[in-house]
Structure 1
Amino acid sequence: MILIDALFIANEGGGPNLLRYLIDVIRSNGKESEFFLYLDERFQHDVSGFAHLRSKAGLLKRLNFYRQNRERFSRVLCFANTPPPVRLNVPVHTYFHNQMLLESRRRFASKQYFRFLLRYAFVALWNNNTDDYIVQTPHMVEEIVSAGLKPETRCKQFPIFKPFERAYVADYRSLTEFVYVSAASFYKNHTTLLNAWEHLFDRGLNPVLHLTVTDTYTSVLLHIKRLQDKGVQIINHGYIDTSELYGRCAYMIYPSLNESFGLSLIEGANAGMKILAADLPYVRSVIEASVYFDPLDVGAISQAVAAVLQNAPSLTKIVVEDRVDELLEYILN
């Protein structure tokens, strides 16, 4: 039996969505009986047919699980960046999908990166307990090699993403509406984006910006409220099914400073949106954006938006393929 250790995958964001997709693909291939799922108790998805255990996430609980089950599994896939806390006598693969852990090595003096640095310390501590790292892009291979975790030969590229299902596609896409689908962690760069939208408003332009910021991010919500009171057209939806927004808006804007993969970029391009994105390697690894901008420059962001309001840019192209079937074959064999 193959263990998928997803204890450190909660319920919202790119990681959980990738896990749900992998579970569904395993089920569609009739392989449920070959897998055991070790899940965070908050994770929500249909896992019928799978042997599984839900648990409160924690380092000690994970350690005890491995100690009690170290002879039970024929292969292990850790689906949350962190190798097992013990060395096993079976093949072990670790799916690495959080660039912020690697970035924390370069920004150790920053308070914002401190919790990522702590988590990276466990990755480094248990690095020898995994045979390889599975990643989404060449950029992540470079990051892992640069960190000294594994040589390039021990980094396997299997990008996975669920093709966008056009549950809702408007007959007419609004050419003045933009969407940024993201939580509001500091590296997602909402503050700079909001400042750019205020700059546009002060220039006499007032396009609509749709956001998906949840109640957790109080300071960003206060910033949004201040701009709304000023008359800036910002609509915050919180955590929602984004398919309607993907069908309604002509443009996605993506100012994030760090991503391991940028799943929303692929979803947006798949849905037919033109994408304005940060001029950073993670973007170019997955799409050829319609417009690039400096994500740290308020003026550059506002100028990019103003330009597409005046002249429609070229289409966004996806430059990566879903290889979930190859990943599944690799795990099974």
Structure 2
Amino acid sequence: MATMSTFIIIIFLSLMMGKSGGAIRPVVTFTPNWGNVLQGDDVTLTCNVTSTVPEEPRTYHWYKDERTINGQILQILQINPSAERDSGDYQCRINTGDISDPVTLNVTDRYVLLQRPPSAIYEGDPLTLRCHHNKDFSGFQTRFYKNNEEIKSQFPDSEFSIQKVDLNIAGHYKCSKQISSRNSSEYREFSHDVSVSVKELFSPPEIKVTPSRVIEGDNITMTCDTRLDLLRGGTELHFAFYRNGRTVRGYNVSDTYRVRSSQLEDSGKYTCEVKTTSDTVRKMSDGFLIQMYDYTVQNIIRLVISGFVLAASLCFIYFHNKW
């Protein structure tokens, strides 16, 4: 029976691999890694894939705006030189496998262009913006602007880099250069505005506690709740917990912290912190106050309050009947 089950599983996997070409969905990348280029620039697109069967023969299929690009069967698609008509969405497929997600190429006929990577930008990612000029001209004295305010001027090269971006980096960027050629005078040319948005890698954490009302001796479970962006689902997160600002559990892959047989000294303001393994992004939760209740003291307080209420009621009845 076990042998038959194993045989069926092997046949199923073989059929699935044959159907998909033994490969996961391919990804199209640019070289150089810019999604917007100037007319006349050379662009190379590569169809990248990780295959479970490396030795299988591969045929590559390329598409532009969902139409087949005839005559293109190699892994690399070269556009030399580029023209405005080459702008569009590009995809690739290997054999009969899945087609890639589209990547957009924009070809512009301008003197100066601010280039940015084509892929989405997330918190903690490095970011490089490039002020690119037409190769038929000389360009110098690069300046960068965010929301029309200059952020870098007279920089010796044409790139503006940030090692770790955060949400505050988002905005509208542009650049300018002094442009000159043999037959023209020198003048400053501006690029178009480029919108740079930064996606949240994971949401700000929220500390959740069970039970919501804690009595001395209870087992407490705290969860550091956050949501990781689906497109970065492979990112490993680490969690830490604090009481009154002091560490009660250091960074760990578990998002849960437990206190067994809690005592009065476990009362306090608890927070949790989430970070990436590379420590490029950290986020702290708001505080959650845990006030421990002594069961014995609590019962005494209840008895005193009940006695007071009873005495007040008897007094009211006595005086009411007397009048």
Please indicate the TM-score interval, normalised by the length of the shorter structure: under 0.3
> Which structure: greater helix fraction?
1
Q: Give the TM-score normalised by the residue count of structure 1.
A: 0.21
> Which structure: greater strand fraction?
2
Radius of gyration: which is bigger? 2
Q: Give the TM-score normalised by the residue count of structure 2.
A: 0.21
The structure with higher relative contact order (CA 8 Å, sep 6+) is 1
